[in-house]
């Protein structure tokens, strides 16, 4: 595969993964049945080939006061222990205290200052990699200073924000 083909293939996988994650976020936010979520999640993950590449940096969410609370991995596969998309893990479970999907919790409530789903949050989660590099804030607030610039994540947040309005 030549360099141009690799770029197109990489862009295709990124767009496909974006679509897959968008489906998962929509299902989580609209409280779809567990069976439907599992089916579509499996389909989306399989279709997107959503495994984190060895060369791809693990993107992690940290929230709470001074961003000390680990909220999970943004780009890990659905079955990864710490993935925000693992419905059985502590960071993807809608009942977990450290899940952005817990609509009654400190990190998932649309009213919490620490939640990405509160457009007025004063301290939303941050995105960092395993080396500590900062990738911006993970928030539906489109004008939040230093909101992430990662295109796929911005599109996901914007889609989630429009669903929640």
Whether residue 48 has pLDDT greater than 50: no
Instruction: Report the C-alpha gap between 85 and 108 in whole angstroms.
Output: 14
DSSP codes, 105-133: STTT-TT-TT-TT-TT-SS--EEEETT--
Determine the pLDDT at residue 94.
Answer: 92
Over its C-alpha atoms, the chain yields an Rg (Å, rounded) of 15
Instruction: Report the C-alpha gap between 7 and 72 in whole angstroms.
Output: 29
- Confidence band of 143 (pLDDT split at 50, 70, 90): very high
pLDDT 10s digits, 71-126: 999 988 889 999 998 999 999 999 999 999 999 999 999 999 999 999 999 999 99
- Confidence band of 39 (pLDDT split at 50, 70, 90): very low
Determine the pLDDT at residue 137.
Answer: 97
Q: Backbone phi, then psi, for 151, in 5-degree steps?
A: -55, -45
């Amino acid at each position: 595969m030549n360099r141009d083909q690799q770029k197109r293939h990489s862009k295709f996988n990124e767009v496909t993964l974006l679509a897959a994650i968008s489906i998962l976020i929509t299902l989580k936010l609209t409280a779809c049945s567990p069976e439907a979520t599992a089916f579509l999640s499996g389909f989306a993950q399989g279709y997107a080939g959503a495994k984190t590449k060895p060369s791809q940096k693990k993107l992690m969410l940290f929230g709470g006061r001074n961003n000390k609370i680990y909220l999970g991995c943004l780009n890990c596969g659905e079955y990864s222990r710490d993935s925000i998309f693992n419905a059985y893990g502590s960071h993807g479970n809608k009942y977990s205290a450290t899940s952005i999907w817990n609509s009654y919790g400190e990190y998932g409530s649309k009213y919490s200052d620490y939640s990405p789903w509160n457009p007025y949050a004063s301290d939303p989660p941050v995105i960092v990699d395993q080396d500590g590099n900062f990738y911006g804030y993970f928030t539906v607030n489109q004008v939040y200073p230093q909101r992430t610039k990662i295109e796929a994540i911005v599109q996901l947040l914007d889609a989630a924000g429009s669903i929640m309005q």
